[in-house]
Amino acid sequence: MGRRFRGEGHHKVDTKGRVSIPASFRRVLEASDPNCEPGGNPELVIVYGDQRRKFLEVYTIEAINEVDDKIDALPRGSMQRKMLQRMFHGQSFPTNVDETGRLVLPAKLRSKIELDKEAFFIAAGDTFQIWKPETYEAEELAQEEKWMEDLPEDFDPMEFLDG
């Protein structure tokens, strides 16, 4: 596994669907694309999924290759393989970072997550997500706060790492 994405950020989306990728995210994309020269335009895959998914998930080439290998290991014709192939092969968009460090998000993807003037980027290990900021706040932050309500005041999240 290559480098990991870290951090979050808000970036403007122009009328053509162009949005700057956080600089630290671009370095991870470059390092995780075996065909990318330093300072080049790395390839990536945006998985948008079905109507239940309210964000775009961006995979590095290394990360999507790992997913593809796991899908290929499933029994041919199994429902699990068919569903994963539909999501990761059919409901995805291969692209690359342009010369100015931006992604061009097609209208279909912007419309799917109701993205207009601003995008919220958040790291998720070897992937990152792109959200409409208001949706992220309403869906993810609300869910996290609800989950935290059930934990004791002195809870230390590091406890999860100990199994």
| Secondary structure (DSSP) of 51-76 | TT--SEEEEEHHHHHHHHHHHHHSPT
pLDDT value of position 119:
98
Query: Cβ contacts of residue 55 below 8 Å, gap of 6+?
Result: 113, 129, 130, 131, 135, 136
pLDDT at 115 over 90: yes
On whether residue 144 sits in a domain, the answer given is no
Domain residue limits at 112: 8-133
- Please, which residues have CB within 8 angstroms of residue 15's CB and are 6 or more apart in sequence? none
Helix (H) or strand (E) holding 106: none
Q: What is the pLDDT of residues 9-62, one digit of tens each?
A: 999 999 999 999 999 999 999 999 999 988 889 999 999 998 889 999 999 999
Mean pLDDT estimate for the chain: 93
Asked whether residue 152 is assigned to any structural domain, the reply reads no
Residue 25 lies in a domain: yes
pLDDT at position 163 over 80 = no
Residue 73 lies in a domain: yes
* Cβ atoms of 99 and 112 closer than 8 Å: no
Return the exposure string of 109-121: e unless at least 16 CB atoms fall within 10 Å of the residue's CB, then b: bbebbebeeebbb
The answer to whether position 87 is within a domain reads: yes
Task: For residue 130, name the pLDDT band (cuts at 50, 70, 90).
Answer: very high
Number of domains forming the structure of the chain: 1
Q: pTM, whole model, 2 decimals?
A: 0.90
Within-domain flag for 119: yes
pLDDT higher than threshold 80 for residue 2:
no
* Residue 147: pLDDT over 70: yes
Q: Which of 36-40, 58-62, 107-111, 132-136 has the lowest mean pLDDT?
A: 36-40
- Say which residue, 83 or 145, is predicted with more confidence: 83
Tokens at 131, concatenated: 């959200």
Q: What average pLDDT does this structure show over 68-95?
A: 97
CB 55 within 8 A of CB 129: yes
Confidence of residue 89 (pLDDT cuts 50, 70, 90): very high
Residue 128 forms beta bridges with which residues? Answer: 58, 123
For residue 34, give the CATH number of its domain.
3.40.1550.20
Beta bridge partners of 93: 46
What are the beta bridge partners of residue 8? 122
Residue 159 is assigned to a structural domain of this protein: no
The answer as to whether 153 is a domain residue is no
Residue type present at position 7: G
